[in-house]
């Protein structure tokens, strides 16, 4: 909510992707007809207004059943101090002009908005719990995790190893410059013996009204650049990354790596090298596993897939990496079968496994190439 009229504007509304973390696996609130759970947030400081509407509700006295206590379920997530009536919320909205982003400004960028017909400015800040008012703001911000990240949980903010990176949009209201929350990322700094740290991305969320505009890539690249400048950082990883995060990371890391000398077309065609691992790790804080993916994406760009020899060479190179887990599984199965079955049956079953393995390998390769092509298409448009 930026203006009072936004309260009645359905265009500013967005719905949760997940509600099972609050309402159970069936995502059901029992005992209501026409139930609406309404949560409004002021765009900048995220002051909250919560109300429930319904046309009718079961009554224990007459229906012999009790409706779910929806309000208490929501109260478990949103911090105390929220508004319960419109007038209080609108009066808080008038004070929004005093809200300023927390922490240190790291990056400013613009994105052209077709609807507004103008460039909109965004800023990325790094904050921590020593910033006045940030702890309370973060309590409100993290409530979005429950609705938009699967298996989300709140973090221990008293642990000083957490870093917070926030994205804000700058907008004008009555001639004043205000800030709206766009998204954020939390990063935990793990200790690596003897004197290094390994930052691990824990949570990353861009709010639904801003998704698909490139903010995730801007945020991840800014965070990488922030840690790249630190001599004590070993490399940057992510905790249980989603499929979408992996695609985003591929794009950002390829964008960062493409100008390194070790990834020149000539060197790419010579195969994956220790030089790539060392340079990507030392200059960009990228680990070996992620560097390998960057190499495969950039080599695909340098390869003429219409040329039979180049195409075959690329396919074999990628499949040699992909086959590793299959070979390990094959060795484990062989050990088991030697104990459980006669020799002739082992050979037959191994042959069946081998055929299935080839099919799965080809399927994995084609899916990978499809994902890589999308990264390269996005890179060409960047």
Query: Tokens in use for 344?
Result: 């002739």
CA distances from 339 to 68, 90, 166, 332 (A): 55, 74, 57, 11
- Nearest residue to 215 via CA among 120, 143, 140: 120
From the candidates 239, 362, 363, 377, which is the catalytic residue? Answer: 239
For the chain, the straight-line distance linking the first and the last C-alpha, in angstroms and rounded, comes to 31
- Nearest residue to 229 via CA among 206, 199, 201, 186: 199
The CA distance from 365 to 300, in Å, is 12
What length does the chain have?
382
Q: Is 19 helix (H, G, I), strand (E, B) or coil?
A: coil
CA distances from 243 to 121, 250, 274 (A): 28, 11, 27
DSSP string across 77-100: TSPS--B-SHHHHHHHHHTGGG--
Question: Tokens 């409706």 label which residue?
Answer: 67
324 burial class (0-12, 13-18, 19+ CB within 10 angstroms)?
Answer: exposed
DSSP 263: G
239 flagged as catalytic: yes
The CA distance from 235 to 285, in Å, is 4
Q: Which residues of 24-54 are buried (b: 16+ CB within 10 A; e: fewer)?
A: eeeeebebbeebebebbbbbbbbbbbbbeee
Q: Are 200 and 161 in contact (CB under 8 A)?
A: no
Query: Tokens in use for 147?
Result: 């609705």
Catalytic site positions: 239
């Amino acid at each position: 909510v930026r203006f009072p009229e936004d309260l009645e504007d359905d265009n500013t509304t967005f719905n949760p992707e997940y509600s099972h973390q609050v309402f159970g696996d069936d995502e059901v609130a029992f005992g209501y007809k026409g139930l609406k759970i309404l949560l409004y947030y002021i765009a900048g400081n995220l002051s909250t207004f919560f109300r429930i509407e319904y046309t009718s509700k079961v009554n224990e006295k007459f229906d012999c059943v009790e409706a779910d206590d929806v309000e208490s379920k929501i109260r478990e997530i949103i911090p105390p101090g929220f508004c319960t009536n419109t007038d209080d919320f609108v009066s808080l909205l008038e004070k929004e002009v005093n809200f300023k982003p927390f922490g240190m400004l790291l990056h400013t960028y613009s994105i052209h908005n077709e609807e507004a017909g103008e460039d909109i400015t965004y800023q990325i800040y790094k904050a921590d719990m020593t910033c006045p008012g940030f702890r309370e703001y973060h309590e409100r911000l993290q409530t979005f995790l429950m609705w938009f990240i699967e298996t989300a949980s709140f973090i221990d903010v008293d642990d000083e190893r957490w870093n917070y990176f926030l994205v804000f949009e700058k907008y004008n209201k009555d001639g004043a410059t205000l800030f709206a929350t766009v998204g954020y990322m939390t990063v935990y700094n793990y200790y690596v013996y003897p004197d290094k740290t390994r930052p691990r991305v824990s949570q990353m969320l861009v709010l639904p009204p801003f998704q698909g505009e490139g903010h995730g890539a801007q945020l991840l690249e800014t965070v990488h650049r922030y840690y790249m400048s630190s001599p004590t950082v070993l490399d940057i990883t992510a905790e249980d990354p989603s499929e979408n995060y992996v695609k985003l990371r591929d794009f950002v890391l390829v964008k960062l790596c493409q100008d390194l000398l070790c990834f020149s077309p000539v060197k790419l065609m010579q195969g994956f090298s220790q030089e790539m691992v060392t340079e990507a790790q030392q200059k960009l804080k990228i680990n070996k596993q992620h560097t390998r993916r960057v190499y495969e994406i950039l080599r695909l760009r340098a390869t003429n897939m219409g040329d039979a020899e180049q195409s075959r060479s690329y396919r074999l190179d990628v499949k040699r990496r992909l086959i590793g887990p299959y070979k390990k599984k094959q060795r484990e199965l062989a050990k088991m079968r030697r104990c459980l079955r006669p020799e002739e049956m082992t050979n037959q079953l191994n042959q069946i496994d081998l055929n299935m393995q080839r099919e799965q390998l080809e399927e994995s390769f084609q899916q990978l190439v499809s994902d890589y092509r999308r990264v390269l298409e996005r890179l060409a448009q960047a």
